Amino acid sequence: MSEVAVRCGLDIAKHVFALHAVNKHGKTVLKKQLQRKSILVFLLNFLAVLLVSKPAEGVTTGREN
């Protein structure tokens, strides 16, 4: 990856994770699917400014409205 990622999204699933990173212009610089066993090693080697996780549909945060 030659461009710098400023935002990175991680879709968390049971066995396969989808990673999507964009640069400061919103252009995709990384799109990758990783197995559970390899995600930690990849993320430790991946330099990103921001890593955001969105909860799955139907998942509660424990907060009451």
Residue with structure tokens 């030659």? 2
What pLDDT was estimated at residue 56?
A: 63
Q: 29-44: string of b/e by CB count within 10 Å (b at 16+)?
A: beeeebeeeebeeebe
- Residue-wise pLDDT tens digits, 28-62: 988 999 998 898 888 777 754 455 556 666 655 55
Integer Cα distance of 4 and 2 in angstroms: 7
Other beta carbons within 10 angstroms of residue 8's beta carbon come to 20
pTM over 0.85: no
